[in-house]
């Protein structure tokens, strides 16, 4: 039988505020274990939480970007469950009164635009991090666990979609678009490998054309766009096989094992459904006033969808526009264009060599030493005949290595094209003199020999002569 997948995604986004959600501890990644801690985020007796105002503003900003309604009255709840890396054994989260409700996001997986409903966006706190000892990493084989509370209390946004997603490709496109928005808003570094963005998905299958939903499986632990897509593809295949055999789907939580390439049943947490939510009595309600929401709306940067449309209007290929947006390179492109670069050429460099450089080094766009002005300079030098495109690639490598501006690097490496006629004339004359046969055949009409002669001059000048100029000079000399 043919089935339709019904997928909903919950995304956790770690915000890049300077301090934690409910205390003043720093949020920097990679600090020494248990150093970014205080009575509040360690759950010491007597400590009390106080919410970070910026985290609330950023949640509202994302809500606006996703077309949500911003709740005028919102409340934090306690979500009660025992876990060794959850210091208070309850998480301060939101329940029936989240900050943002009911938005949507348009995504294009390549097969046309789809609208994914956003159920809610709410704010909560992250847990500490446990490392399991011994036993090959499997939780239940471990001899114990070590806990670091540095991550405890980092603000965490949760974005929940409606079950509107129908394929792993759509899921990926959704995640990619959400990530682009988060980056554009500057509210998270969105580094997947550091867990700044984490995905859980609910997946069920139903016969094609059916209305009612099938039994839902929750898939956790997907930390990249690729693993999200792979995990969902695996899960759909697994459930299809079970249904085809006439077997029932268990309503359960499964974990994606990236290495094995499959989902595995999670630990059975029978009481997990009873979180005993109740209003957090240590906090008072959040009341957003319409003026504050409008102020945040007015300060929003250009969102990826609009930016892409604007770039396409500048002549950039849609695929390149999408790549720039999702890779966080759109701002560099815009800077280059406003510094005078040709949009198409700039986009080619951004999505080509610069993206390749980032992939190679694993760097973040913010790590790049070259800015949009530098890119404009490079593109301008090529357009103005000062650099060949081959030489330009070498110049770019130097610029990205911090050796200077494109012009400085090109000069230092002696890569500037020779466009001065008088400097090339003697080389042209020498080549004509040493190749009388080729010159004669060219005069007889064999055009291809022009290319050969140009090549000889280029060789003699170490590749630095402007080939268009050489070609013209040879044709003049030969008398064509």
- For the CB of residue 189, give the shortest distance to other proteins in the complex, in Å: 16
Q: Is 448 in the site for other proteins (CB under 8 A)?
A: no
Among 4, 12, 29, 43, binds other proteins (CB under 8 A): 43
Under the criterion CB under 8 A, does residue 148 sit at the interface with other proteins?
Answer: yes
Alpha-carbon span 134 to 54, nearest angstrom: 40
- Burial class from Cβ neighbours inside 10 Å (0-12, 13-18, 19+) for residue 359 reads exposed
Selection from 6, 3, 377, 354 nearest residue 167 by Cα? 6
Which position among 67, 102, 279, 467 is part of the footprint of other proteins (CB under 8 A)? 279
53 binding other proteins? (CB under 8 A): yes
Q: Residue 44, interface with other proteins (CB under 8 A)?
A: yes
Which residue of 3, 95, 97, 147 would you call a contact of other proteins, by CB under 8 A? 147
Residue 97 found at the interface with other proteins (CB under 8 A): no
Using rule CB under 8 A, residue 18 touches other proteins: yes
Sign for the CA dihedral angle at 31, 36, 41, 43 comes to positive
Restricting to residues 114-143, name those near other proteins by CB under 8 A.
130-133, 135, 139-143
Q: Are 380 and 340 in contact (CB under 8 A)?
A: yes
The stretch among 94-102, 107-115, 146-154, 252-260 that binds other proteins (CB under 8 A) is 146-154
Part in contact with other proteins (CB under 8 A); list of ranges 51-59, 112-120, 216-224, 428-436: 51-59
Q: How far is the CB of 261 from other proteins (least distance, A)?
A: 23
Q: Cβ(283)–Cβ(92) under 8 Å?
A: yes
38 binds other proteins (CB under 8 A): yes
Per CB under 8 A, the list member of 115, 137, 146, 250 interacting with other proteins is: 146
259 part of the interface to other proteins, by CB under 8 A: no
In this complex, which beta carbon is closest to other proteins, that of residue 43 or of residue 117? 43
Out of 226, 267, 297, 468, name the contact with other proteins by CB under 8 A: 267
Which C-beta is closer to other proteins: that of 18 or that of 313? 18
If one asks whether residue 422 binds other proteins (CB under 8 A), the answer comes out as: no
379, 410 in Cβ contact below 8 A? no
Per CB under 8 A, 50 contacts other proteins: yes
**Residue from 116, 126, 149, 326 in contact with other proteins (CB under 8 A):** 149
Contact call for residues 187 and 15 (beta carbons, < 8 A): yes
Site string for other proteins, 57-96 (x = CB under 8 A): ------------------x--x-x-x-x--xxxx------
Which residue is listed with tokens 């002569």? 465
Q: Which is nearer to other proteins, 58 or 234 (CB)?
A: 58
Question: Which one among 8, 49, 109, 214 touches other proteins, defined by CB under 8 A?
Answer: 49
**Using the rule CB under 8 A, is 312 a contact of other proteins?**
no
Contacts of 326 (CB under 8 A, 6+ apart): 176, 177, 179, 180, 304
Q: What is the dihedral of CA 72, 178, 331, 387, to 10 degrees?
A: 180
The structure tokens 């070609």 sit at 471
Residues linked to residue 118 through DSSP beta bridges, in sequence order: 103, 161
Return the number of the residue (267 or 443) whose C-beta is nearest other proteins.
267
Burial class (CB in 10 A: 0-12, 13-18, 19+), 313: exposed
Residue 186 sits in the site that holds other proteins (CB under 8 A) = no
Assess 461 for contact with other proteins (CB under 8 A).
no
**Cβ proximity of 233 and 199 under 8 Å:** no
The upper half-sphere exposure of residue 68, i.e. CA atoms within 13 Å in the direction of its Cβ, equals 26
Q: Which is nearer to other proteins, 90 or 333 (CB)?
A: 90
Q: How many CB atoms lie within 10 A of CB 63?
A: 28
Q: Applying CB under 8 A, which part among 12-20, 116-124, 196-204, 424-432 lies near other proteins?
A: 12-20
Work out whether 271 is an interface residue with other proteins (CB under 8 A). Answer: yes
> Which residues, 6 or more positions from 421, have their beta carbon under 8 angstroms from its beta carbon?
469, 473
Which residue among 284, 356, 369, 480 contacts other proteins (CB under 8 A)?
284
Q: Interacting stretch for other proteins, rule CB under 8 A, among 42-50, 235-243, 332-340, 402-410?
A: 42-50
Nearer to other proteins, 264 or 446 (CB): 264
Q: Give residues 350-409 in contact with other proteins (rule: CB under 8 A).
A: none
Q: Which of 76, 18, 463, 34 is nearest to 282 (CA)?
A: 76
Integer angstrom CA distances of residue 35 from 25, 50, 79: 9, 20, 26
Q: Which contacts of 280-284 are long-range, i.e. CB under 8 A and separated by 24 or more positions?
A: 280/49, 280/75, 280/76, 280/77, 280/78, 280/92, 282/48, 282/49, 283/49, 283/51, 283/76, 283/92
75 touches 284 (CB < 8 A) = no
Comparison of 8 and 155: residue with beta carbon closer to other proteins: 155
- If the CB atoms of residues 39 and 384 are measured against other proteins, the closer one turns out to be 39
Cβ neighbours around 19 below 10 Å, total = 17
Looking at beta carbons only, is 16 or 456 nearer to other proteins?
16
Shortest distance in whole angstroms from residue 178 CB to other proteins = 23
């Amino acid at each position: 039988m043919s089935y339709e997948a019904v997928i909903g995604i919950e995304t956790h986004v770690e915000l890049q505020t300077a301090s934690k959600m409910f205390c003043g501890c720093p949020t920097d990644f990679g600090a020494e274990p248990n150093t970014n801690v205080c009575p509040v985020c360690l759950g010491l007796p007597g400590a009390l939480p106080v919410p970070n105002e910026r985290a609330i503003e950023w949640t509202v900003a994302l809500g606006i970007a996703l077309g949500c309604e911003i709740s005028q009255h919102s409340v934090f709840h306690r979500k009660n469950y025992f876990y060794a890396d959850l210091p208070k054994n309850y998480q301060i989260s939101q329940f029936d009164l989240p900050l943002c409700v009911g938005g949507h996001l348009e995504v294009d997986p390549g097969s046309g635009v789809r609208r994914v409903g956003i159920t809610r966006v709410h704010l909560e706190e992250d847990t500490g991090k446990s490392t399991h000892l011994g036993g090959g990493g499997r939780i239940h084989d471990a001899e114990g666990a070590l806990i670091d509370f540095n991550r405890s209390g980092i603000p965490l946004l949760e974005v929940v979609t409606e079950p509107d997603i129908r394929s792993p490709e759509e899921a990926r496109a959704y995640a990619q678009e959400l990530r682009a928005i988060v980056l554009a808003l500057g509210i998270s570094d969105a580094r997947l490998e550091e867990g700044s963005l984490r995905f859980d998905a609910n997946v069920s299958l139903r016969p094609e054309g059916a209305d009612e939903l099938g039994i839902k499986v929750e898939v956790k632990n997907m930390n990249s766009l690729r693993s999200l897509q792979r995990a969902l593809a695996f899960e759909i295949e697994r459930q299809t096989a079970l249904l085809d055999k006439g077997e029932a789907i268990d309503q359960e939580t499964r974990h994606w094992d990236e290495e094995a390439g499959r989902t595995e049943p999670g630990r059975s947490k029978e009481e997990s459904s009873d979180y005993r939510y109740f209003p957090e009595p240590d906090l008072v309600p959040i009341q957003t006033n319409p003026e504050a929401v409008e102020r945040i709306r007015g300060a929003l940067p250009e969102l990826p969808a609009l930016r892409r449309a604007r770039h396409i209007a500048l002549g950039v290929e849609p695929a390149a526009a999408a790549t720039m947006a999702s890779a966080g390179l759109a701002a560099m492109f815009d800077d280059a264009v406003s510094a005078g670069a040709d949009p198409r050429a700039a986009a080619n460099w951004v999505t080509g060599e610069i993206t390749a450089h980032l992939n190679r080094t694993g760097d973040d766009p913010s790590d790049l030493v070259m800015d949009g002005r530098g890119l404009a300079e490079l593109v301008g030098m090529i357009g103005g005949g000062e650099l060949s495109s081959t030489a330009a690639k070498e110049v770019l490598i130097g610029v990205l290595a911090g050796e200077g501006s494109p012009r400085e690097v090109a000069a230092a490496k002696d890569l500037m094209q020779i466009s001065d006629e008088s400097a090339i004339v003697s080389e042209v004359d020498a080549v004509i003199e040493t190749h009388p046969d080729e010159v004669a055949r060219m005069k007889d009409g064999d055009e291809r020999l022009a290319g050969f002669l140009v090549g000889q001059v280029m060789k003699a000048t170490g590749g630095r002569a402007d080939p268009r100029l050489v070609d013209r000079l040879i044709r003049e000399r030969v008398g064509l």
